[in-house]
Structure 1
């Protein structure tokens, strides 16, 4: 009888697991949960350089909630791999680190080469604090208060701010880091990466390699074989008006979670989603749009992933003195251009500075003359809050009107303010509370004190005529 009971119980358990595995919970939610643990623990440890315990406590535990107690992971230090699973047995996901490429979720091989590396050729080049410039242009006490106020006050909340850096006229005037982080830390920008891809588009437009308004120009859509999709353009994708059903809800059950954490070919997944609207007809923020645009541009950078990474570095990073940046690819080698660039706070700020410098570096024009106007033009349907790859300030933000903003999940922000010649970046792991980054940007603006004009030299006169 006991054997019968045990056998029946085992059969019921197996049937229950099979049913669960075939449900949306088993197909999307649970692999997304183990996927984000494996991916983030790998990247935050070996790309960002954070302590694994700190990374788990700050970035993942608040995000996973109760589910975190049943999701464990193992770290292979020798091979730099992380495996995560439910109860140590189910829905296992594996992330693999490669030098210069960061970490990639590997679902089933698909030609993934764990031995491929594209090392960064130059160490991070830190800017030093320009105290003379700071003291000339800022109320020092107010600036310090703004920066320190961006970090945690244990009596109020845990915003988990990890790093802040501020440039004025291209000079570093302030930076501060929480324990466990430093100016060497590569911060995960999450969707700030979309602004990088938009910048890449600008460099390719400048060189005549890309027409952002051309139809029939998206290879992943062309591969679907539906002629109705030919009207989707790079611009409509970067403006989040592509019209495909790639909803981004950040709840672990949405198409975006499915794309990022369960798919080996993200552009194909995005391209095969249902068409809901004609391009330009409906604004909805969705990372799959940027994945399709990123894939299109990447294919024009070279024939191999090393060639494409080298071209990305040569087009954006190296001219700006950015040497910490890592753009992580997916399993099939496609840039995860919606979500996965890591760089130091200073290097993220350097990207913003390119826009303040009108797209010109050392006399060389990287971006078209009207590129700032293009990215800062409000996209219809966004309520004035989104341009092209950058967010825009609404009246409620209290930010200068011409500001453009890079923004990412968990409170990553980059403010580019041309009238004030300021770039303010803030990084952290904020869940469930406001990062109050907008307040930081406003307080930095308020701390700006342009120097008084120099007095004109005295003129000696005799009678009515100068001597």
Structure 2
């Protein structure tokens, strides 16, 4: 028996050594696979800690959320977030795994929250904002903001919908119905108020498109423009137009999957500034021919706008004086990356009423003052272009950073995105089921903000609201 045991141990060790050598030799011949294997744990930790630090910092300082809600919101993505400890130290948020590894994010009232890069060198500096914004000399009078006129049947309905959503663990935090120029109903979830600034996630893409539309209205931008970046001048990316980027038909390779190691997570939670990361993506399809949803496309628009407006200070001045102030928006914040560029893909915050006001701006073709402004805040023709199907061969149901319910104008055989909702409605959509519907046929905007890991029953909820509008 001892001999058999010794022989068995010897054979086991020998086979283990042979197998290990075989694996090692195979790995040497498959260096890309080995590189991916080594990078994956790093990417997973980067995503876990970067996401924790960034979202917790913003939620704490911008939304005013308490520790319990912040932790629950992170665990809504994955139970792994329960292993991360979060600590706020003044304007800095620290996310740690034990005492071994951590990441930090910093909050600034003007810039918002941004990750502090863990690897800093002369090629990846942290953006330092000087802290002053010069006064614009091109002020315009404020447009009207939305009035409130409570419609009791609708008010009871939205309150009941929030109650049902809570029972279904959908966590609806705000629900607003705009009809014409008036808010007819609004309701909020537990510990959320009308003054709480809520994250729109990818609704921020539509916000950035509206900011671009303001530039076009003032003659500062042109959607057909190409040759957008010096870094693209020597390859076919120079043929990409701003309209291609707005419609996400630019043809750039970008993995929007939200998992460790993908473009989306590396861009939002990695060390490289978001817009600079997107700038490095390679061309995969001929521009204008293929729709592919990409947060990178939006951040490239933001980078072009940043450069065209003259840098961070001038971009922030334009944002405040030519967008926020005329619209009467006092809570809205669009965070910046470490190059000082708006992260238009993801990080817009505002009260629910101010998100709804963007929907009203679209509904009324760029005007909020009942037609008394002959020019309009946004050009009527720009709104028409923004809500037209894109030029792709595979899915035309996307305009200028807006989802289109239908696209029959281009004889598309694709079904409506939401068959139970008006055919000509269109949407601002975001992660965790942020939804703003503009329904021109009903002269209505419906907004839902929340934090849902499962699909929100938008056709049932919004359909119920539309059927209860006053005649």
Task: Tell me the TM-score normalised to structure 1 length.
Answer: 0.82
Deviation, structure 1 residue 27? 3.6
Counterpart check, 1:195 vs 2:206: yes
Residues 41 and 85 (structure 1), Cα distance of their counterparts in 2 relative to 1, 3 Å cut: same
Per the alignment, residue 148 of structure 2 pairs with 129
Deviation, structure 1 residue 434? 1.9
Counterpart check, 1:449 vs 2:464: no
Deviation, structure 1 residue 204? 1.3
**For 1:281, what is the secondary structure of its paired residue?**
coil
Return the alpha-carbon distance in structure 2 between the equivalents of residues 200 and 126 of structure 1. Answer: 18
- For 1:157-236, list aligned pairs within 5 A: 157-216=168-227, 218-219=228-229, 222-236=230-244
Per the alignment, residue 413 of structure 1 pairs with 435
Counterpart check, 1:346 vs 2:349: no
Task: Kindly indicate whether the alpha-carbon contact (under 8 Å) linking 1:319 and 1:361 is maintained by their aligned counterparts in 2.
Answer: no
Task: Kindly indicate whether the alpha-carbon contact (under 8 Å) linking 2:50 and 2:115 is maintained by their aligned counterparts in 1.
Answer: yes
Return the alpha-carbon distance in structure 1 between the equivalents of residues 204 and 281 of structure 2. Answer: 22
**For 1:293, what is the secondary structure of its paired residue?**
helix
Task: Kindly indicate whether the alpha-carbon contact (under 8 Å) linking 1:212 and 1:235 is maintained by their aligned counterparts in 2.
Answer: yes
**For 1:32, what is the secondary structure of its paired residue?**
helix
Task: Kindly indicate whether the alpha-carbon contact (under 8 Å) linking 1:385 and 1:391 is maintained by their aligned counterparts in 2.
Answer: yes
Per the alignment, residue 247 of structure 2 pairs with 239
Superposed CA deviations along residues 415-459 of structure 1, whole A, max 9, x for unmatched, are: 11122111111111111x222234322111100131xxxxxxxxx
Root-mean-square deviation (Å): 2.5
Per the alignment, residue 401 of structure 2 pairs with 389
1:251 to 247, 255, 259: 259
Number of matched pairs: 411
- For 1:29-428, list aligned pairs within 5 A: 29-57=44-72, 59-65=73-79, 67-76=80-89, 78=90, 80-90=91-101, 92-107=102-117, 108=119, 110-113=125-128, 116=131, 129-131=148-150, 134=151, 140-141=152-153, 144-153=156-165, 155=167, 157-216=168-227, 218-219=228-229, 222-303=230-311, 305-362=312-369, 363=373, 364-379=375-390, 380-381=392-393, 383-394=395-406, 395=416, 397=418, 398-428=420-450
Unaligned runs of 5+ in 2: 1-33, 136-143, 407-415
**For 1:33, what is the secondary structure of its paired residue?**
helix
Unaligned runs of 5+ in 1: 1-18, 135-139, 451-467
Task: Tell me the TM-score normalised to structure 2 length.
Answer: 0.81
Residues 238 and 434 (structure 1), Cα distance of their counterparts in 2 relative to 1, 3 Å cut: same
Task: Kindly indicate whether the alpha-carbon contact (under 8 Å) linking 1:143 and 1:447 is maintained by their aligned counterparts in 2.
Answer: no
Return the alpha-carbon distance in structure 2 between the equivalents of residues 37 and 118 of structure 1. Answer: 30
Return the alpha-carbon distance in structure 1 between the equivalents of residues 146 and 381 of structure 2. Answer: 29
Deviation, structure 1 residue 126? 8.8
**For 2:272, what is the secondary structure of its paired residue?**
coil
Per the alignment, residue 9 of structure 2 pairs with none
